[in-house]
Amino acid sequence: MIPIALPVLDKSEAEAAGEAILSGWVSQGPQVASFEREFATLVDAPFACAVSNCTTALHLALLAAEIGPGDEVITASHSFIATANAIRYCGATPIFVDIDATYNIDPESVAEAITPRTRAILAVHQMGMPCDLNALTALAKKHGIVLIEDAACAAGSQIFFNGRWELIGKPHGEVACFSFHPRKVITTGEGGMLTTANGDFDRKFKLGRQHGMSVSDTVRHGSAKVIIEDYPTVGYNYRMTDVQAAVGRKQIGRLGDLVTLRRKHAARYRSRLADIEGLGLPVEPEWARSNWQSFCVMLPEGADQLTVMQNLLDRGISTRRGIMCSHREAPYTHEIRRHDLQRSEIAQDRSILLPIFAQMTDDQLDQVVGAVAGVLRKEWSSLKETVSF
């Protein structure tokens, strides 16, 4: 069986986790602080805040921007439901707009959806492919609204911005939010990170992630005097543990090599799949360098998505359906729409994610390509028989 994804973890991460455990400090502490500094340095961000996952990162980002009831936040429906949920956590209304050819939020659709109630744009770098930050930052600036990046999948991805290549996570909008789930390029098991250039936002993140506590555990435990904390605001338990952070610090050191390998695999996929009739390949704009967290293909029109996936699974190939559309799920079926979401729906219904991971061998990749070609030939034959009948 070829899995859809596989994290790169070995003795190095195990030893780092073990050292954190044996240190006696396993909750948020010095390893978290070091992880934050190293991640901030990596992406060239003034501030970074580690949290329990990307969903909590999105929630804190929206709270820091004072998004609340009565506010509208423009976002893509074509994203994991956590994106929309974070907006709802704040009592605000998600305004869903359609995607472009990169599976990312369409800036033209964003512009059409802006109203006097719009307070923020929550843009997703879907599957690691950078969205058009040049257009989105210009829109946000023009209308005086906040741009928050859902960069859950985008650690290691780059965008050509202001005349040079920059990593996603360098503040382009107000905040970028990352995930370290096992299906991401680097992982801490679970975990998230916020990066920003706004010192006030960073202070809010670090206050909010620890119950609103005015003094951190590290400060209290390291003091020679008794310190009694207070709680000036309602906060949450959104902390990352030192065990996770120790693993994350090792993963940062791997990131460049992991992205290089994934880009190699993606290039080979694009070359080998190009001759399959009707199969749509992912688009990488000239201003983007994806980390290829996922490799998404659009099935030929008429091919049944679930049938193709099951036939691939029967041949030992794990796949996943295309990215979900939140507006089709029960909590969001009645949300406001500024226009249709046709491209998003087609992407969910006709696309599938193929296996891609750093350790993937050329033989495994060729096995996937061969299986896709064989299954689609079978689908075409079935369709032709149905039509002729």
CATH of the domain at 167: 3.40.640.10
Q: Are both 127 and 209 inside the same structural domain?
A: yes
**Which uninterrupted H or E stretch holds 306?**
helix 305-314
- pLDDT, residue 224, reads 66
Give how many domains the chain has, as a whole number.
Answer: 2
Residue whose entry in the numeric block shows the structure tokens 């089709």: 328
Confidence category of residue 223, pLDDT binned at 50, 70, 90? low
Q: Is residue 1 included in any domain, yes or no? A: no
Query: How crowded is the C-beta side of 43, counted as CA atoms within 13 Å?
Result: 34
Task: Output the domain CATH number for residue 346.
Answer: 3.90.1150.10
Residues 247 and 278 in one domain: no
Average pLDDT along the chain = 94
To the nearest 10°, the Cα dihedral for 248, 323, 262, 276?
A: 170
Per-residue pLDDT reduced to its tens digit, 129-156: 999 999 999 999 999 999 999 999 999 9
> Same structural domain for residues 246 and 259?
no
Annotate 203-212 with b (16+ C-beta within 10 A) or e (fewer): ebbbbbbbee
Residue-wise pLDDT for 158-200, tens only, equals: 999 999 999 999 999 999 999 999 999 999 999 999 999 999 9
What predicted TM-score, i.e. pTM, was given to this entire model? 0.94
Domain boundary among 253, 281, 296: 253
Which of these three, 224, 253, 282, is where a domain ends?
253
Instruction: Give me the half-sphere count of Cα atoms (radius 13 Å) on the Cβ side of residue 121.
Output: 35
Distance, CA of 62 to chain centre: 16
CA dihedral 321, 326, 327, 328 (to 10 degrees): 40
Strand order in the sheet with 93-97: 47-51, 192-196, 175-179, 146-150, 118-124, 72-76, 93-97
DSSP-assigned letter for residue 328: G
5 inside domain: no
Does residue 243 share a domain with residue 174? Answer: yes
Average pLDDT, integer, range 335-355: 92
Terminal-residue alpha carbon distance, the chain: 36
Whether residue 2 lies inside any domain: the answer is no
What pLDDT sits at residue 380?
Answer: 58
Query: Mean pLDDT across the stretch 114-128?
Result: 98
Count how many Cα atoms sit within 13 Å of the Cα of residue 193 in the half-sphere of its side chain. Answer: 36
| Listed residues 221, 253, 285: the one ending a domain | 253
Residues 211 and 282 in one domain: no
Domain-embedded: residue 214: yes
- 151 and 85 housed in the same domain: yes
Q: Can you tell me whether residue 120 is helix, strand or coil?
A: strand
Examine residue 18 and state whether it is found in any structural domain, yes or no: yes
CA 213, CA 230: separation in Å to the nearest integer? 6
Read off the pLDDT of each residue in 292-315 and give the average, rounded to a whole number: 97
Q: Which two tokens stand for residue 160?
A: 């050509």
C-beta neighbour count of 373 within 10 angstroms = 16
**11-63 pLDDT, tens digit each:** 999 999 999 999 989 999 999 999 999 999 999 999 999 999 999 999 999 99
Cβ-contact 380, 374 below 8 angstroms: no
Q: Is residue 6 part of a domain?
A: no
Residue 268 falls within a domain, yes or no?
Answer: yes
Do the Cβ atoms of 54 and 181 come closer than 8 Å?
yes
Instruction: Locate the DSSP E strands across 222-338.
Output: 288-289, 295-298, 320-321
For residues 222 and 83, state if they share a domain. yes
Residues 238 and 283 both lie in one domain:
no
Looking at residue 382, what is its pLDDT?
A: 58
325 and 201 belong to one structural domain: no
**Same-domain status, 350 and 381:** yes
- In this structure, are 170 and 121 located in the same domain? yes
Q: State what percent of residues in the chain have pLDDT above 90.
A: 88
Q: How confident is the model at residue 128 (pLDDT cuts 50, 70, 90)?
A: very high
In a domain, 348, yes or no: yes
Same domain (yes/no): 104, 47: yes
* Domain housing 311: 255-388
